[in-house]
Structure 1
Amino acid sequence: MESNYIKIYSGNAIIGKRIELELLELGISPICKDEGESARLAGFASSMLGNIELHVNQDEKEKALAVVAKLTAKP
């Protein structure tokens, strides 16, 4: 199955949620995958706690990657 979505971020959930909020302010609706939370809700243990993935439509890739770069840049 082919998808029009691309992964733009994988890592810390706190930073990921901040990126998600910035994207929403720009009118980009990301898909947030949280394997740890999904496992918890299903009653399973997970070693992926605190990590998420963000995916956006390929048409919005450039704007989304600019947000990720801005928020993950080392000072």
Structure 2
Amino acid sequence: MTDSNYIKVFTGSFIVVQLIADRLNAIGISPVVKDETESGLISVFGATNPGLQQIFVNKDELNEAIEIVESVTSDLEA
């Protein structure tokens, strides 16, 4: 198994993922958004989190990304 430079920082709905991705892009972080239900390789029945997307960032950008994720999720909870 190969070691990846990317790490998952969030799993959630399309809308929240897009909000976080937009904020990450605004500070120069290019997130990778993964949606298993849209891949065509895995049916909805085989997806681990149907309807949810995942955000991955480079390990070097992890601290800044976590701050954005926490900011967005705390704003949504208020």
TM-score normalised by structure 1 residue count:
0.86
Q: What's 1:7 paired with?
A: 8
Q: For residues 11-40 of structure 1, give each alpha carbon's deviation from its aligned partner in whole angstroms, at most 9, with x where no partner exists.
A: 11110011001101110001100111113x
Q: What's 2:38 paired with?
A: 37
Query: Any gaps of 5 or more consecutive residues in structure 2?
Result: none
Task: State the aligned residue count.
Answer: 72
Query: Any gaps of 5 or more consecutive residues in structure 1?
Result: none
Q: What's 1:46 paired with?
A: 44
Q: In structure 1, what residue type is equivalent to 2:16?
A: I
Q: What is the distance in 2 between the residues matched to 1:49 and 1:14?
A: 15
* Post-superposition offset of 1:45: 3.9
- Poorly superposed stretches of 4+, deviation over 4 Å: none
Q: In structure 2, what residue type is equivalent to 1:30?
A: P
**Does structure 2 retain, via aligned residues, the 8 Å contact 1:37–1:49?**
no
**Does structure 2 retain, via aligned residues, the 8 Å contact 1:30–1:55?**
yes
1:55 aligns to 2:40 (yes or no): no
Q: What's 2:29 paired with?
A: 28
- Indicate the percent of aligned positions where both proteins have the same amino acid: 36
SS in 2 for 1:54: strand
Q: In structure 2, what residue type is equivalent to 1:19?
A: I
